[in-house]
Amino acid sequence: QKEVEQNSGPLSVPEGAIASLNCTYSDRGSQSFFWYRQYSGKSPELIMFIYSNGDKEDGRFTAQLNKASQYVSLLIRDSQPSDSATYLCAVTPGGYNKLIFGAGTRLAVHP
């Protein structure tokens, strides 16, 4: 079992719709959770982080965390073609100061 699992996609949504990206993790002691965006041929950039159960909103982005289910998600409201990218979920496993990345979900927003 991979430490961080994501559906590779592609997830295709129409412009203006809500895109929902999901991630599960195996280490129940994981403490911090991150979403990075990576455009094709570019390096990853941090867009959201969440530490506590529940929702965290930042503009059009909402991160959701459910530690009991070992599940973290990212919602993108009013999706734009410029949101088309690979979204990487990353986790800090319990007791370790490092990031473990999932393989990423490719999102395609079509006009």
Partner 1 sequence: EAGVVQSPRYKIIEKKQPVAFWCNPISGHNTLYWYLQNLGQGPELLIRYENEEAVDDSQLPKDRFSAERLKGVDSTLKIQPAELGDSAVYLCASSPRDSPNTGELFFGEGSRLTVL
The binding site for partner 1 (CB under 8 A) comprises 4, 8, 31-32, 34, 42-46, 49, 88, 90, 92, 97-104
Q: What is the closest distance, in whole angstroms, from the C-beta atom of residue 103 to partner 1 in the complex? A: 5
HSE (CB half, 13 Å, CA atoms) of 77?
7
Q: What is the closest distance, in whole angstroms, from the C-beta atom of residue 41 to partner 1 in the complex? A: 9
Retrieve residue 9's tokens.
Answer: 């996609």
> Considering beta carbons, is residue 32 or 70 the nearer one to partner 1?
32
Element (DSSP H or E) covering residue 102: none
Residue 24 sits at φ, ψ, to 5 deg, of -120, 155
Q: What is the closest distance, in whole angstroms, from the C-beta atom of residue 96 to partner 1 in the complex? A: 8
Q: Are the beta carbons of 60 and 48 closer than 8 angstroms? A: no
> Considering beta carbons, is residue 38 or 70 the nearer one to partner 1?
38
Number of H helices, E strands in the chain: 0, 11
Q: What is the closest distance, in whole angstroms, from the C-beta atom of residue 25 to partner 1 in the complex? A: 12
> Considering beta carbons, is residue 3 or 17 the nearer one to partner 1?
3
Distance CA 62, CA 79 (A): 12
> Considering beta carbons, is residue 19 or 90 the nearer one to partner 1?
90
